[in-house]
Structures are given as C-alpha cells and as structure tokens.
Amino acid sequence: MTTATAAEANLMRGRFITLEGLEGVGKTSNLETIVSHLQDHGIDPLVTREPGGTEIGEALRKVVLGSGHQMSAMTELMVIAAARLEHVNTVIEPALAAGRWVVSDRYLDASLAYQGGGRELGAEQVLSLHQYIGVTLQPDLTLLLDMSVEAGLERMHTRGEPDRIEQESLAFFERARAAYLAQAQAEPLRMTVINAAYPLIAVQVAVKDRLDDGLQEWLGDRPAIGVAPMGSIESNVELGECHGRST
C-alpha cells in the first residue's frame, strides 16, 4: 500500500479563501458571489464566519460584540483567538484535510486589523498569541474589500443598533484600515485588495476575476478534488446568519 507523499496530500487538500474588510464594504454581498462562482466551477465550499463558525465560537461572538459591557483590548483579542482556535481545529482544518474548500467571512487578518491596528495592540502581539495557541493556518487567498472609512460607515447607516465594535471612533476604523492595507502590502500573493467603492456589479466582477486566477493556479485543467456531490450544499453560515454547526 502506498502512502500519500506530502506533495500529494497538499494537492488533495481543499483551499481556504477568506474575505475581509471594514464595515459597509459589502462582504455579505460578495460572499454570495464567491460561493456561487465556486459552485459554477463544481466546487461546493463550506461557508463559515468569524468570530463564530462553531457553537462555542458563536457564543463567544455574542460576548465580543454584545454592547453594554467593557473589556480590555487583550481580553477581546483572547476571546476572539479562543473562538478561532476552536473554529480552525474542529471545522476548518478537518474540512481542508478532507479536500473540502472553505470560505470564511473574516479570519486572522481581522484580528491584525481590529485588535492589532484599531485597538493598537500591534501585529506582533496578535501573531505571537496565535503562534502560542497553535493557530498557524494561513488562507490560500484573501480578498480585502477596501474603501474609505467614511463611505463604508455611510452605507451602514440603514442598519439597526450598532454592536460594541461598530460603536468605535473614526480613528479606530482608520487604524484598522491602515493595518489591513499594511498586511496586504506585506503579503501581495495571498492578499488581493479590491476597490469596494465601485458599484456592486463592478466589485463582483473583480472578485470573480481574482478567483479565476486562483482556480487556474490550483486546478489547471484538473477537476477539483474532494468536491462534494452536487445537491449536498452544506454551509456553516446562512450567508449572514451562522448556525454554529461543525462539519
């Protein structure tokens, strides 16, 4: 019996795609585009989100986003990191190892932006905490939807009561945006910045173009490996509402 080599195992793994950006950039709208574009290519991704994606992660999300209580920046980071640890170990890694593609609405880059930048903890502390708890998984592709903070917040005005983080100052979001962009500059192969100020249809075309580059690179002429049978679409997230279900 032959054992799969590391290279073969890597080929069989699913791909991990993340979507990032500040408030109002249109993550929810573009998540739908990513999922339907992958489905058009016969790939049935597991869709999930952070903070959340597991039962405990969804409970911790309520702690982080619930207004009416205070917590230090480091506490906030540790709660989010704990949710992420559970998410990676019980949902994302097992799915990828089984050949399933995973699309996550936010991941580690959000901590670099909001806690590292916004809360001014710095990238070093965010990364070393994740290193310490063993969260080292990197996405294969991250799409960063970017636009001015003011314009993004303007789009959110029609929304209901802001959560604890949404109540932060303009300066907080400016720091978060700068941290996102610095991360994209440091990792141009993994992260692609998409101008989210254009009309939705144009943003969706840019998202699909970047996905096509990835699909070409990862699949070439091969069919996707580990594709779940058509008609068995499973999701951790009801595109905006997570069921906290693990695979």
Binding-site size for ligand Z5A (CB under 6 A) equals 25
Spatial distance between the Cα atoms of 127 and 183, rounded to a whole number of angstroms: 12
Would you count residue 28 as binding ligand Z5A (CB under 6 A)? Answer: yes
Would you count residue 246 as binding ligand Z5A (CB under 6 A)? Answer: no
Would you count residue 185 as binding ligand Z5A (CB under 6 A)? Answer: no
Distance in Å, CB of 43 to ligand Z5A, minimum: 22
User: Of the two residues 43 and 77, which places its CB atom closer to ligand Z5A in the complex?
Assistant: 77
At 13, which helix (H) or strand (E)?
Answer: none
DSSP assignment, residue 54? S
Would you count residue 111 as binding ligand Z5A (CB under 6 A)? Answer: yes
Would you count residue 110 as binding ligand Z5A (CB under 6 A)? Answer: yes
Binding mask 207-236 for ligand Z5A (x = CB under 6 A): ------------------------------
Dihedral (Cα; 143, 87, 92, 40), 10-degree rounding:
-50
In the chain, count H helices and then E strands. 10, 5
Among 26, 45, 116, 117, binds ligand Z5A (CB under 6 A): 26
With helix as H, strand as E and coil as C, how does 151-169 read?
HHHHHHHHCCCCCCCCCCC
User: The tokens 């054992």 sit on which residue?
Assistant: 3
Would you count residue 87 as binding ligand Z5A (CB under 6 A)? Answer: no
